[in-house]
Structures are given as structure tokens and as C-alpha cells.
Amino acid sequence: MIEEKKRTTEEPDAAKDETESQADDEREKEKAPRPTYLFLIRHGENAWTERGALAGRTPGVPLNEKGKEQAQQVAERLKDQPITAVYSSPLLRCLQTAQPLAAALDLPVSVEPGILEVDYGEWRGGELKELGKRPEWRLVQVYPGGFRFPGGETLREVQDRVITTLERIRTQHAGEVIAVFAHGDVLRTSMAYYLGTPLDLFQRIQISTASISLVAFHLFGPSILAMNDSGGLPVIKLERED
């Protein structure tokens, strides 16, 4: 009888602990905000990328026929995603790549100067095979963080302005899914940042024309869900917020 009485007095405490534990779990779920997702898409092919030249900030560079097909493919791949906003670099090749998706989603394209192409300065318009013969080219490969394009930007400056812009966009659209259309080096330096990779190793990251990368932002930081993807993507399922 003594043992039975002891169990009787202990059982309410155990039940209380379990109830408190469940309450703590529920509070943790309530505190965790819904993730924010950024689809980061490079523009489609154009005459400059086709021949291996730095278009840079050259205005009026349109997509070629392959690039137009790629833009339609991007729209087809992303049209079922719960995207609520579309952002693009001001340059024509990005705007043309963004437009089919925006039309499919019945959304406007918001022009964002903060994700403009790198200012390559005097190197703009140069053929990569010719630029590769310059002694400075080695710096771009092994110490890009310490190199300034003659008359242009450093890649560290590029990364700073682009990450500042992307952080502003994802903060403004907390809990949403956003599409951002930009440029190769702009997206490579951004992915290096979100991967926690030193800028001097950003050359290891491949970002092909019309490729899609996906970054999810949780309470404790970013998570890379896809990078340089040209195939199928899982459709994001957003949890309801009560």
C-alpha cells in the first residue's frame, strides 16, 4: 500500500512535466517564422555570352533565339511556384528573361538597380580569350577579392551591394517566395556569401545562363536548396500562418 500511494503522488508531477513540455514545443512552433525563399536566376543567352565576351553594363543587349527559349523554359519551370514578386536587373537581357515568368504569374517586373551587372570598366566588351592573356587576369582567378577592374568595381564591392539588396528584398517579403533575375558574377558572389565561402574561391561556383539557384532563409540563417539548376525543381509548399 505504501508503494501504491507513492506512485499516486508521483504521477501528477510526471503528467505536469509532460504537459509543460508539450506547451514549450507549441511555443517554439509559434515563434519560428515561415521561411523566405529567393529564386536567383541568371539571364538567358545572348550574342555576347555566345561568343565569350564581357557585355558588362552595355545597354540594349537582347537575348538571342536560344536565350528567348531559355526564358520560356524558366517560366515553365517556375510558374507553379507560389512566387509573389519578380525583381530584375535594369539591363535588357535580364528584363527579357524575367518577362515570361512575370506574365505567367500576372505580376509586374520590379527593376532593381542594386543587382545590376558588375562594372567591368575598361574590360567591358573584351573577349575573354584575349583578356585571359593579360597579367592581371591571374589576379581575377586567384585573388579576385583584391582586384579592381580598371576603371570599374572590385568584386568585394559587387558582393556588398548585391547582398545588401537581396537582404532588403527578403526582409520586405518575409515569409514569401521571390524571383530575382540577375547576372553571372553577381549571382556567383552572392552564392559564395550565402554558402559561407570566401570571395577568393567564388570562381569555383558555376552559374550558367538561365540557371536557377534557390536559397531559403530560416530563423537562424540561409539554406542552399539548389544551385545552377537547369532541371526540375520541387514546388514549394508554404505552411499556413494562423
Catalytic annotation, residues: 43, 117
What is the rounded distance in angstroms from the CA atom of residue 179 to the CA atom of residue 194?
16
Q: List all residues 6 or more positions away from 60 whose beta carbon is below 8 Å from its beta carbon.
A: 92
Which of 239, 182, 159 lies closest to 57, judged by CA? Answer: 182
Q: List all residues 6 or more positions away from 117 whose beta carbon is below 8 Å from its beta carbon.
A: 55, 56, 57, 89, 91, 182, 183, 185, 186
- Give the strands of the sheet with 177-182, arranged side by side: 109-111, 83-88, 177-182, 36-42, 212-218, 221-229
Contact assessment for residue 86 and residue 112, using Cβ atoms and an 8 Å cutoff: no
